[in-house]
Amino acid sequence: MASSISEDELSHIFTELWDVDDNRCLYGEDYELNLQSSLRRSDGDADRSSEPLFLWLDEDRVLARPTYRAFAALLDNYELAVGIPESVTAEELSENAAFIQACLDTRPMRAAHRFLAGRGLASQSVRGFAAELDQIWFHMYKRVRGGPRNLQDSSAFEHVFVGETRSEDGSDSEAASVTGAHNWLQLYLLERAGRLNYFGYYRRGTAAPGVNGQPGLAALKFSLDDGPVKPRGGGFVGVSPEFELALYTVAFLCCGGQRPQARIGPHRVRVYCHTIGPGRLATCYPELID
């Protein structure tokens, strides 16, 4: 690992974040899925699910919660195609700060801060930690290959939580495939808008939510805006935005550039945490091991 954090320590903090995520959505009360057909690698681009992934989500209840509301306000702030410069307005900077503050007021993010600050991996002060979160998640950088050296077309938040599109040659294109997009609420909103086509799920890699309303993990195949199929994507389902922000921040600061394994609640998970240059988070997402 990039630091001296052991797998047992990671399992402890990851499970603590899971246990204190009291703002998670409850399966059967806040939302339901329709997973339908499981997939095989031999299926290629075949669509094995004729119905949407989400049966329903109680938007009045879920999107009224402070962190969910602040999260949803960020989703229309980006040009999804890599290679197109991002223009960040004062209003968007304010929305970024509001989301970070809303997360800092929650138990998962406070637990993450204590853990990281106690190991010298984050500022001791809440204000300092907020600035670090802004740098990790919202600092713009260049993701596309080629083009101007000073191009700023991406951020960690955009890739992980919102999703990006990229054509085979790296340029903007109507046939661009989706990359990133590991947040379940964003997938719901894209599907509701008629932009996401769900193809099915992989049985290996999926732990369906539902036991006592608990969240789960899902390995999915889907396409965006009638573009090429994303052969495997997804992540947690039912967790709160602050849980994911806290967990991925811990993973990045402890294990950036690596794929640590740890227990997260009842699940054993590998967390992919790729970087793009020194100190820049490229992507972070979970993969169920058992």
Rg (CA), the chain: 18
Which residues are tagged catalytic? 159, 182, 230
Cα 46 to the center of its chain, rounded Å:
26
pLDDT band at 173 (very low <50, low <70, confident <90, very high): very low
Map tokens 């811990």 to a residue: 250
For residues 223 and 229, give the distance between their C-alpha atoms in angstroms, rounded to a whole number: 5
Over residues 127-154, the mean pLDDT reads 92
Q: What is the pLDDT of residue 158?
A: 97
Q: Is the pLDDT of residue 195 over 70?
A: yes
Over residues 204-223, the mean pLDDT reads 92
pLDDT band at 174 (very low <50, low <70, confident <90, very high): low
Map tokens 């020194």 to a residue: 278
Q: Is the pLDDT of residue 218 over 90?
A: yes
Over residues 247-274, the mean pLDDT reads 95
Residue 33's identity, in one-letter code, is: L
Task: Please report, to the nearest 10 degrees, the dihedral formed by the alpha carbons of residues 41, 43, 44, 45 taken in order.
Answer: -130
**Each residue's pLDDT tens digit, 280-289:** 999 999 999 9
For residues 67 and 49, give the distance between their C-alpha atoms in angstroms, rounded to a whole number: 31
**Each residue's pLDDT tens digit, 49-67:** 999 999 999 999 999 999 9
Q: Is the pLDDT of residue 185 over 90?
A: yes
Q: What is the pLDDT of residue 207?
A: 95
Q: What is the pLDDT of residue 169?
A: 56
Q: Which residue did the predictor score with more confidence, 131 or 168? A: 131
Over residues 11-36, the mean pLDDT reads 97
Q: Is the pLDDT of residue 75 over 50?
A: yes
Convert 222-239 to b/e letters by CB count within 10 Å (16 or more is b).
Answer: bbbbebbbbbebbbbbbb
